[in-house]
Amino acid sequence: MIGKARHRAFFVTGTDTGVGKTVVSVLLMRALRDAGLTVLGMKPVAAGCEQGPEGLRNEDVEALRAAASFSVERELMNPYAFLPPVSPHLAAAAAGVRVDLDLLRSRLDELERRCDIVLVEGAGGWYAPVSEAQTMADLARALGLPVVLVVGLRLGCLNHALLTAEAIVAGGSKLLGWVGNRIDPRMALAEENTATLAGRLPCPLLGVVPHLGVDARQADVRLDLSPWLLDAEEGSRS
């Protein structure tokens, strides 16, 4: 079931796992904060955690927490955390846990009450399973969230990006924009491939993140959020 449309929260998905969703999410959160908005991050499901003295910790979750305008309870912004670095549905099954979309909606409601904008980062790609019957696409639709797509710029990205965008739109979600991420510094004709996607994807290009290495989240990269913010402002008045 598609949830009630939200205009002050957004879902970040990617063309695959390892394409830089967290890097781009942090940059988006930084840009929103620079625009004078209070921002919180949410990672509904995180697999590949480490066991610490205070429980399970996930690198992506910690990055979102560090980029937020202020701190909130970790369990609020990351309701489901699993130890093994595997597909979320397999990690949840191994832990004997069922991902409850109603619980995720209630956690998102609480985050939205505390700030201007919530950025929700998915796991894996658009169709990554979260249960035996549901995917990240179902999660985004259940939360009623428009989508920003992260495209990992490497050989094969044209097909992956166009298929993902088609699936997002066909499923009834709004595609707000896309960000290219130069995950392969040796990619041939990267600029030409980016131009091809800019001409074919049904949403604006918000920016391209250069290959930045391990310190990508600290880089001074500017993304154009004007179409994103305009959509949010218009939605809040509707």
Does 43 participate in catalysis according to the annotation? yes
User: What is the maximal distance between C-alpha atoms in the chain?
Assistant: 49
Q: How far is CA 31 from the centre of its chain?
A: 15
CA 83/CA 144 separation, integer angstroms: 28
Please, are residues 117 and 232 in contact by the beta-carbon 8 Å criterion?
Answer: yes
DSSP 8-state secondary structure symbol assigned to residue 133: S
Instruction: Please state the φ and ψ torsions of residue 203, each to the nearest 5 degrees.
Output: -165, 160
Residue whose pair of structure tokens reads 């991420």 in the numeric block: 181
Mapped onto helix, strand or coil, the DSSP state of residue 10 is: strand
Residues 6+ apart with CB under 8 A from 53: none
- Name the strand (E) or helix (H) holding 124: strand 117-125
Pair of tokens at residue 59: 């690198």
Please, are residues 170 and 33 in contact by the beta-carbon 8 Å criterion?
Answer: no
Positions of E strands within 139-203? 147-152, 175-181
- CA 131, 137, 139 angle in degrees (round to 5)? 60
Active-site residue numbers? 43
